[in-house]
Amino acid sequence: MKPVQVGILGLGTVGGGTVKLMLQNTQEINNRAGRKVEIVQAAALDNSVLQKLDNCDIKFSTDVFDIINNPQIDIVVELIGGVDLAKKCVLKALQNNKHIVTANKALIATCGDEIFALAQRKGLTVAFEAAVAGGIPIIKAMREGLSANKIKTIAGIINGTTNFILSKMADKNTPFAEVLKEAQQKGYAEADPTFDIEGIDAAHKLCIMGSIAFGIPLQFDKVYTEGIDRITSQDVHFALQLGYKIKHLAIAKRTKKGVQMAVHPTLIPKDKLIANVDDVMNAVLIDADALGTSMYYGAGAGELPTASAVVADIIDVSRTLTTDPKNRVPHLALEPDKIQNTNILNMSDITSSYYLNIKVLDKPGVVAKITAILAEKEISIEAVIQQDTKNISSEYVPLIILTRKVQEKYMNEALLKITDLDVVFEYNKIRMEQL
């Protein structure tokens, strides 16, 4: 059988890891693919990664199009990152009849529909296991393992940076800013951590999982995101006291009114398995109609874990190079004509229970005023904690309220009225999920 020839674009962390892993486990990889698979060519800005490797006869180029236009190449592995150049490379490679493997979540979440349509027309595969939750084979689990199910809910801890920060805040009662600095020193957070902290990275991944789960087009701009930078040590502490951990959760749900897709800090019961996924680890919990709850846990980033997913995709694609495209697993689990445009809910239309941390003057009657406003909006209360003032330097004290489920619209209306009270300084609202 003719060896499968792979060209790789980008030799950063994941690109370097992919080259190393292909060299390290060559025999296993060939045996599992049932044929010889080799990286023959790589393009990057500089050649330092390849120069450090022994026995590496990968041809190097600084021009990605040397690979994309090379008629010998069967599979182009796009590990450049970013959207503009990556998109150009992927579309051109598809036009040149190359299959694609990519780890690029931003590219798939924002341009996936266009890319998959071209691949479909050309009878080619675009594989993207590494784009979601790093090395965890979650795309395969959802698309193939759970193919007999209607998926109801996805709840994922799919950003290692924010999970590390929230874990450390809970463990050691350290404030956000200080843990962020530690994360940056350890290399768990970028110098500019905005993409992670604000939930954009997680939203890219959630968008991809949501499309596969619910058979809908990729609609990244409709995923709601809320960062973790407003979570205080106080919130983490109160949550624990009430039996919850705060996690930066990516949630997609199928509801009667439409699909909910959101990334935000979330209180989850601390005895749930997913609440104990700590540090930089990732996990995705899926609730499906036949299987019930299942969970997939592992390293969501890193050189070799992400390369594990990239190389698994290379093996899958290699094995099916000569397969009738109709016999391959469709990109979003369904053939394109079966993808349906379902309504994505606005956050005001979702239903949730809430944790409220309201900073109030420590005066008689304050709790009565606030709970009266909640009652007016028919919001039931699950628990109230008012901290005594002795450890508080400010004149305002935190009033903690857990509510039962209510449509977010009514919660926001109530909070607008509550902030109008002259005894109230500010509030923090965090959604809760029982999972």
Q: Is 369 in the site for a second copy (CB under 8 A)?
A: no
Shortest distance, CB of residue 315 to a second copy, whole angstroms?
5
Shortest distance, CB of residue 328 to a second copy, whole angstroms?
8
Comparing CB distances to a second copy, the nearer of 321 and 367 is 321
Q: Is 333 in the site for a second copy (CB under 8 A)?
A: yes
Report residue 344 as tokens: 């994505």
Stretch that binds a second copy, among 19-27, 120-128, 162-170, 173-181 (CB under 8 A): 19-27
Shortest distance, CB of residue 259 to a second copy, whole angstroms?
15
With CA atoms as reference, report the closest residue to 158 among 260, 246, 243, 285.
285
Q: Is 415 in the site for a second copy (CB under 8 A)?
A: no
Comparing CB distances to a second copy, the nearer of 288 and 402 is 288
Q: Map tokens 């019930």 to a residue.
A: 292
Shortest distance, CB of residue 172 to a second copy, whole angstroms?
16
Shortest distance, CB of residue 88 to a second copy, whole angstroms?
28
Comparing CB distances to a second copy, the nearer of 50 and 310 is 310
CA atoms of 115 and 78, how far apart (whole Å): 13
Residues 86-145 that bind a second copy (CB under 8 A): 129, 135-137, 140-141, 144-145
What's the number of CA atoms in the CB half-sphere (13 Å) around residue 103? 34
Residues 338-357 that bind a second copy (CB under 8 A): 338
Q: Identify whether the C-beta of residue 116 lies closer than 8 Å to the C-beta of residue 336.
A: yes
Q: State the catalytic residues.
A: 205
With CA atoms as reference, report the closest residue to 232 among 178, 182, 183.
178
- From candidates 82, 123, 175, 292, binder to a second copy by CB under 8 A: 292
Instruction: Measure the N-to-C terminal CA separation of the chain; round to a whole number of Å.
Output: 49
Shortest distance, CB of residue 294 to a second copy, whole angstroms?
3
Comparing CB distances to a second copy, the nearer of 132 and 350 is 132
Length of the chain: 435
Comparing CB distances to a second copy, the nearer of 94 and 146 is 146
Q: Is 25 in the site for a second copy (CB under 8 A)?
A: yes
Report residue 304 as tokens: 């070799």
Sign of CA pseudo-dihedral 181, 187, 188, 190: positive
Stretch (H or E) spanning 353: strand 351-361
Residues 206-225 that bind a second copy (CB under 8 A): 215
* β-bridge mates for residue 153, sequence order: 253, 287
Shortest distance, CB of residue 310 to a second copy, whole angstroms?
8
Comparing CB distances to a second copy, the nearer of 10 and 305 is 305
- From candidates 32, 36, 92, 222, binder to a second copy by CB under 8 A: 32
Q: Map tokens 């050309």 to a residue.
A: 122
Comparing CB distances to a second copy, the nearer of 228 and 288 is 288
Print the binding letters for residues 144-173 with a second copy: x by CB under 8 A, - otherwise.
xxxxxxx-----------------------
Chain-centre distance for alpha carbon 119: 24
Print the binding letters for residues 49-88 with a second copy: x by CB under 8 A, - otherwise.
----------------------------------------
CA-CA distances (angstroms) from residue 280 to 12, 175, 274, 304?
A: 20, 18, 13, 15
Kindly write down the DSSP assignment for every residue of 197-263, as one continuous string: HTTHHHHHHHHHHHHHHHT----GGG-EE--STT--HHHHHHHHHTTEEEEEEEEEEEETTEEEEEE
- From candidates 84, 171, 279, 289, binder to a second copy by CB under 8 A: 289
CA atoms of 246 and 235, how far apart (whole Å): 8
Stretch (H or E) spanning 410: helix 408-420
Shortest distance, CB of residue 362 to a second copy, whole angstroms?
38
Residues 303-332 that bind a second copy (CB under 8 A): 304-305, 307-312, 314-316, 319-324, 326-330
CA atoms of 99 and 321, how far apart (whole Å): 8
CA atoms of 196 and 198, how far apart (whole Å): 6
Comparing CB distances to a second copy, the nearer of 322 and 391 is 322
Residues forming contacts to a second copy in the complex (CB under 8 A) are 1, 21, 24-25, 28-29, 31-34, 129, 135-137, 140-141, 144-150, 215, 273, 276-277, 288-299, 302, 304-305, 307-312, 314-316, 319-324, 326-330, 333-335, 338
